[in-house]
Structure 1
Amino acid sequence: MVNFSVNEELCVLCGLCAQDCFYGIIELDEYPGIIDEDRCFKCQHCLAVCPTGAISILGNSPEDSTPLKGKFPAEDSMATLIKGRRSVRKYKPDPVEPERIQKLLDTAWHAPTGVNSRSVHITLMDDPESVQKFKDEVYERLEEAMAENPPEIPSVANLFKMICKRMKEEGHDILFCGAPHFLLVSAPESAPSRTADMTIFLSYFELMAQTMKIGTLWNGLLRRVIESILPDLQDRLGIPADHELGYAMLFGNPAVKYQRTIERGSALVRRVEWK
């Protein structure tokens, strides 16, 4: 059941809900109604587009939503956010408050997914003590793996040997950067656009984090360790066996403050015409 309902006192019969329905399953029969609930893919566009707030669906009502008028960031502010975000590799030890982490996750959860599958699986380690124990085990086992069964690609093996050596001799934490929290995203292999969905989720997560003054780092090194060097960690982390591992992201209160955007010049674009 999608629980589609119309407040008849507010509905002005404009038909926008029907026009914006991707599958065309909303019809105006005196008032709007869904003719085939099985084809609804729960995008909630009907709720979002209604100018008078007359439509509720999936247990959600307009009163639970945020009006958009005047709330979007100005284009220059958005450009500064995108150009000003940085990969943070130094973190303060104090953790981010649980309610702020939840707000960050709940906001990023609104990222789009292919056919609205909502199949991204988030594995979160937000307890700094657990992160420390996990980190200690990873470094210990990674050093053993590099000695006993290093990756076949020499450059990869040399990279992880260097990472272990710097941690052991200098205490330089390249893998976790001292971050108090991290998350991993995965998705079922059956998901129609799993790779894009996971990347989009983390992109939204990162940009929201920047607005909250929370630092982030896309961590391909940690992903490589968990996926191929110490693969048993996936099961111990609770990542389902039929999932593709997407990426890891560190986050926490940054110990470095950037003062300005960087500039990368104009986009490289190949414009084409079709005749």
Structure 2
Amino acid sequence: MLNFTVDKELCVLCGLCAKDCVFGIIELDDYPQIKNEKKCIKCQHCLAVCPTGALSIMGNTAEGSTPLKGNLPEADQVEVLLKGRRSVRTYKEEPLEAATIEKLMEIAWHAPTGVNSQSVLVTLMDDPADVKKFSDEIYHRLEEGIEAGSLPETDLAHYIKWAYRMKKDTGMDMIFRGAPHFIFVSSPADAPSPTADTHIFMSYFEIMAQSMGVGTLWNGFLKYTVDFIFPDLREKLGIPENHQVGYAMIFGRPAVKYQRTVNRGAANVNRVTWQG
């Protein structure tokens, strides 16, 4: 049940909820009503757009939401946040507080998904001791595979083998970078937009992490090691067989502090006109 309700004392019959409804299932019949609940994708646009806070849906109310007016950051602040984001490759050993990880997850969960499917799965390993054991197993299996010549002969495998040699020869952990936590983000392969959904979630996660002093790294080494070199590890991590892994990300408190933004020059834009 959607439990779509209207406070008639607050409703001014502006019709914005009906106009903004994704599938046009809200109609003004004296007051707003949802005519076909089966078509509702639970996006809550109606709740968000109502100027008087008259609507509630699925137990969510205007009182339980944060007003946008006066609470949004200025554009120049967002610019610095985005330009100041760095890929962090050195981390402090100390783990993040559980409340910090929970907050990151809750906020990133507001990332958009195709048809609001909300089918993204976040596979989290947040115990540094478990991360260490998982890392040890991966490097041990890489050693065995290299000695036996059983690893794939591909460009991706070449980089993973190089990461193993770096660990063995110099002690530098190219896969986990000493980070205390990691996530894999996946989505059912038959979801409306599985790749985009996972990447958007991770982008939300990363930017929010940046604002909280948490470092992140989109980790191709980890993603390809688990998803390509040793795919049986997917099952051990609890990633469903029918899921497509978007990417992996390590995170934690940075052991390096960046002081300023960088300059990348003008965007590479293909500006077109249409002549029919």
Q: Same fold by TM-score, threshold 0.5 exceeded?
A: yes
The aligned residue for residue 75 of structure 2 is 75
Once residues 231 and 274 of structure 2 are traced to their aligned partners in structure 1, the CA distance between those partners, rounded to angstroms, is 48
CA apart distance, 1:226? 0.4
The aligned residue for residue 151 of structure 2 is 150
Once residues 134 and 233 of structure 1 are traced to their aligned partners in structure 2, the CA distance between those partners, rounded to angstroms, is 10
Once residues 83 and 146 of structure 2 are traced to their aligned partners in structure 1, the CA distance between those partners, rounded to angstroms, is 38
- Moved >2 Å (runs of 4+): 155-162
Once residues 31 and 191 of structure 1 are traced to their aligned partners in structure 2, the CA distance between those partners, rounded to angstroms, is 35
CA apart distance, 1:20? 0.6
CA apart distance, 1:113? 0.6
CA apart distance, 1:268? 1.1
Amino acid at match of 1:164: Y
* C-alpha contact (below 8 Å) 2:92/2:252 kept by paired residues: yes
The aligned residue for residue 255 of structure 1 is 255
The aligned residue for residue 127 of structure 2 is 127
* C-alpha contact (below 8 Å) 2:26/2:33 kept by paired residues: yes
Identity %: 60
Once residues 273 and 82 of structure 1 are traced to their aligned partners in structure 2, the CA distance between those partners, rounded to angstroms, is 30
Q: How does 1:1-275 map to 2 (within 5 A)?
A: 1-148=1-148, 149-153=150-154, 155-275=155-275
Amino acid at match of 2:254: P
CA apart distance, 1:162? 2.3
- Aligned to 1:62, the other structure's residue is in SS state coil
Structure 1 pair 252–210 and aligned structure 2 pair: CA distance change class (3 A): same
Q: TM-score, normalised by structure 2?
A: 0.97
> Which consecutive unaligned segments of at least 5 residues does structure 1 have?
none
CA apart distance, 1:157? 3.8
Amino acid at match of 2:92: K
Amino acid at match of 1:179: A
Deviations 1:15-42 (A, max 9, x none): 1111111111111111111010001111
CA apart distance, 1:169? 2.8
Q: TM-score, normalised by structure 1?
A: 0.97
Once residues 217 and 111 of structure 2 are traced to their aligned partners in structure 1, the CA distance between those partners, rounded to angstroms, is 19
Deviations 1:104-132 (A, max 9, x none): 01000000011111111100000111111
- Aligned to 2:122, the other structure's residue is in SS state strand
CA apart distance, 1:146? 2.4
Structure 1 pair 271–167 and aligned structure 2 pair: CA distance change class (3 A): same
* C-alpha contact (below 8 Å) 1:219/1:250 kept by paired residues: yes
* C-alpha contact (below 8 Å) 2:160/2:225 kept by paired residues: no
**What is the root-mean-square deviation of aligned Cα atoms in Å?**
1.0
Amino acid at match of 1:151: P
> Which consecutive unaligned segments of at least 5 residues does structure 2 have?
none
Once residues 163 and 117 of structure 2 are traced to their aligned partners in structure 1, the CA distance between those partners, rounded to angstroms, is 38
